[in-house]
Amino acid sequence: MQQAEEHLDVLTKTGLKTGVSKPRGDVHRDGDYHRAVHVWIFAESTRELLLQRRASCKDSWPDLWDISSAGHISAGDSSLTSARRELEEELGITLPKDAFELIFVFLQECVINDGKYINNEYNDVYLVTTLDPIPLEAFALQETEVSAVKYISYEEYKRLLAKEDSGYVPYDVNGQYGQLFDIIEKRYKENTVARSLTLQKQISRYAPISLSAELTGLTDSDKEALVFVVKAANVMDEIFYLQAWYSNPSLRDWLKEHADTSEFNKLKWSYYQINKSPWSSLDEDEAFLSTADSAIRLLSKATRIVKDWKGLEYRAAFPLLKPAGANFYPPDMDKMEFELWKDSLEKHEQKEATGFFSVIKRHSEFILDSHLSDNKTGSHDLYIVPYSEEYKSLLAKASDLLHKAGDISDSPGLKRLLHSKADAFLSNDYYDSDIAWMELDSKLDVTIGPYETYEDKLFGYKATFEAYIGIRDDEATAQLKLFGDNLLLLEQNLPMDSAYKSEDVNAAPIRVIQLLYNAGDVKGPQTLAFNLPNDERIVKDRGSSMVMLKNVSEAKFKHILLPIAAACVANDQQEHVDFESFFTHTICHECCHGIGPHTITLPNGQKSTVRLELQEFYSALEEAKADIVGLWALRFLISQDLLSESLLKSMYVSFLAGCFRSVRFGLEEAHGKGQALQFNWLYEKGAFVWDSEGKVSVDFTKIEGAVESLSREILTIQANGDKETAGLLLLKYCVLTEPLKVALKNLEDIQVPVDVAPTFPIGNKILQ
């Protein structure tokens, strides 16, 4: 019986699926674009690449030396599954997915065999890094494809390709394919001294801080409960490492284990602990490690057994480009594949596929990993796994710890939160536990579970696990009540036309805590406040709640804002920069998100929202509004004798110093944009004055009027849903004017830290 000819997916010239598939012979006859995989096996110790000699019966390049293993991606198949399968079929090597590193995609366009064979092929190029060459007798070669294999030094191979040696399949080493050799070269000829210096520089952007809190206000029962809560928080860490990338946990263990072997390895481990992955948060996720730095794994049965050879040792791989889908989706899945699959699902399944609490996997990968015979169920390769199943053993452990804490605690609200969250970990239904979190009224404050979706850069659907544990600061929380109680008064007095003012305003309840431990997705720059939950059902019914981390704010103030003020604020005004006014303005900023226009009536009488009308300008303008109206509100509350007159000068000067801090994040980001707009408006109105020494001061006679005029401008644009004016305002003022340029240059010269890296003595003591 003749085997049916392999079908291939036909692509557009730009590499997108057309939805059509054709027999392989027709694809090469018609010159259709299609996909294939290239797998290179590289031996670290000898710097050699494995080559295979193509069988003499092949329809392209017979008898020539070529890539370790390669093959078409059959219709409906995925890239990584194909790469693993080809290696197994052609060479008899069985490797797990963490051995494969996607290094680049290469488009090959050529015509051979007198025009009969047209090859327009997108190749996913994978690198497998082994420690030593694999003994030749370990291979089981597929005779119809491969006649021999050999190892050759990568430099020698590059030379042979460059001179177009007739014994080798041609690749243009000066074109795209040169990347293979560049990557190996960079990795293995890297200068350790230079890399150490780079890492030191990257680490020095974070000021190390120690965060603690007074436990005296806790009951003895809650102190006991705290021990179990911190242990549960630590489990969130384990889950987050896995969510970032599938070989990330083994990379972490490896770096930790080798940290003491050299100064260089210590630096790698230090910076890894800040980022919790090999990608650097402050450098737009650029990799600071490569697979050459990664964990070594041993497989005794990956190949034929060879006497006296312990087996194949490889490096657990990760790509240099951070995967947009993290470890929530198969690494070789694109948006189109997901959308086509999603559209084939029932309504309730679609909801789960795009929900916060599930990962997406492949049947074909499961079949490969389980060594089952290939019997795909259904027409689609993708399927859904809920978090409660995917992280089952870890969540069971965390659930057990939270139940224990809940049993011990004597605060009713906390008891309810801990038990409901423990249940949610196992049921995958977080609704009740989120309500319990919003209603939490206890001295020990706990936020734990899957919340933020920033790590899912593909769709923004999937939530990462995190934990924040702190002690409520009753004094600061009471001060917040002042803002909450007076929100309606502030709304009624806003500097805008009365027709736009709202009768009812909602303040998100805010709790202020002293943070004593955080874990999970808390990598890179540290958050000062968070607003949860993200579940739209709860937000619609109950609104959201906010937690502010006072000691993190204090640390940033001390290590970042004070040095910035010293460099950028006029000498005679530096005494006015103080934490109290900085933090009071931060609180007021958060409250002011709740006032001003939200739901609006357009000039044509239609109902809409500010977010819908202003579109891409919304975030920057809303951040600027909360800031500048926050400043206006503080002045108003002082005039009503609700706040102390002593705040007056310090709040303006501390705000000025804060402008420089936010602009450092860049004008790409909403907070940076919003701050540039405010600084430049106040500077233009003469409220900020730039002196001959390049420093800036506040003109107290002009600042009030300037703050009010900008507040009026922004509130009116929002009330009218006026996108055009919003765009023009940002275009004019979101620029690095001379004073800002000089300030940023000064800050670079004196190397003020960009953020803080906390350690937690109380939490760490519990964990030891």
Distance, CA of 678 to CA of 711 (rounded, Å): 10
Distance, CA of 512 to CA of 546 (rounded, Å): 8
State yes or no: pLDDT of 7 exceeds 70: yes
State yes or no: pLDDT of 266 exceeds 80: yes
Cα–Cα distances in Å, from 147 out to 43, 139, 143, 374? Answer: 21, 12, 6, 27
State yes or no: pLDDT of 561 exceeds 90: yes
pLDDT for residue 155: 97
Distance, CA of 202 to CA of 198 (rounded, Å): 6
Cα–Cα distances in Å, from 730 out to 219, 324, 496, 632, 735? Answer: 51, 29, 20, 20, 8
Token pair belonging to 722:
């006026």
| 736: DSSP letter | -
Helices (H), 640-722: 647-663, 670-684, 703-720
Amino acid occupying residue 589: H
pLDDT for residue 2: 56
Distance, CA of 597 to CA of 604 (rounded, Å): 17
Amino acid occupying residue 270: S
Greater model confidence, 744 or 145: 145
The length of the chain is 768
- β partners of residue 210: 759
| Structure confidence at residue 373 as a pLDDT band (50, 70, 90) | low
pLDDT for residue 721: 92
State yes or no: pLDDT of 668 exceeds 80: no
State yes or no: pLDDT of 481 exceeds 80: yes
pLDDT for residue 375: 55
Dihedral-angle region of residue 524 (phi above 0 means left; psi in -120 to 50 means alpha; beta otherwise): left
Strand, helix or coil at 76? coil
| Structure confidence at residue 378 as a pLDDT band (50, 70, 90) | low
pLDDT per position as a tens digit, 590-602? 888 888 888 888 8
pLDDT per position as a tens digit, 407-416? 999 999 999 9
CATH 3.90.79.10 holds for 7-188: yes
pLDDT for residue 192: 93
State yes or no: pLDDT of 507 exceeds 80: no
Whether the bond between 533 and the residue before it is cis, its omega within 30 degrees of 0, is yes
Q: Domain ranges for the chain, please list them.
A: 7-188
CA angle 359, 363, 366 (to 5 degrees): 90
State yes or no: pLDDT of 536 exceeds 90: no
Cβ density class 52-67: b for 16+ within 10 Å, e for less: bbbbeeeeeeeebbbb
- Cβ proximity of 253 and 441 under 8 Å: no
Secondary structure element (H or E) that encloses residue 227, with its range:
helix 220-244
* Beta carbons within 10 angstroms of residue 340's beta carbon: 13
Distance, CA of 366 to CA of 282 (rounded, Å): 36
Strand, helix or coil at 653? helix
- Please report the DSSP string for 416-465 in residue order: HHHHHHHHHHHH---HHHHHHHHT---SEEEEEEE---TT-TTTS-PPPE
State yes or no: pLDDT of 91 exceeds 90: yes
| Structure confidence at residue 608 as a pLDDT band (50, 70, 90) | confident
Distance, CA of 292 to CA of 189 (rounded, Å): 11
State yes or no: pLDDT of 614 exceeds 70: yes
pLDDT for residue 116: 82
State yes or no: pLDDT of 634 exceeds 80: yes
Distance, CA of 266 to CA of 576 (rounded, Å): 41
State yes or no: pLDDT of 260 exceeds 80: yes
Mean pLDDT value across residues 369-392: 84
Distance, CA of 349 to CA of 704 (rounded, Å): 55
Distance, CA of 448 to CA of 232 (rounded, Å): 9
pLDDT for residue 502: 82
Token pair belonging to 100:
């494969």
Percent of the chain with pLDDT over 90: 77
* Beta carbons within 10 angstroms of residue 203's beta carbon: 15
Give me Rg for the CA atoms of the chain.
Answer: 30
pLDDT per position as a tens digit, 117-170? 889 999 999 999 999 999 999 999 999 999 999 999 999 999 999 999 999 999
State yes or no: pLDDT of 685 exceeds 90: yes
- Please report the DSSP string for 680-701 in residue order: HHHHHTTSEEE-TTS-EEE-TT
| Structure confidence at residue 376 as a pLDDT band (50, 70, 90) | low
State yes or no: pLDDT of 105 exceeds 90: yes
State yes or no: pLDDT of 1 exceeds 60: no
Whether the bond between 495 and the residue before it is cis, its omega within 30 degrees of 0, is no
| Structure confidence at residue 618 as a pLDDT band (50, 70, 90) | confident
State yes or no: pLDDT of 377 exceeds 60: no
pLDDT per position as a tens digit, 176-191? 899 999 999 999 988 8
Average pLDDT, the chain: 93
Token pair belonging to 63:
């008898």
State yes or no: pLDDT of 212 exceeds 70: yes
Percent of the chain with pLDDT over 70: 98
| Structure confidence at residue 615 as a pLDDT band (50, 70, 90) | confident
Strands (E), 142-227: 146-153, 206-210
State yes or no: pLDDT of 297 exceeds 60: yes
pLDDT for residue 669: 67
**Which residue do the tokens 């106040």 mark?**
682
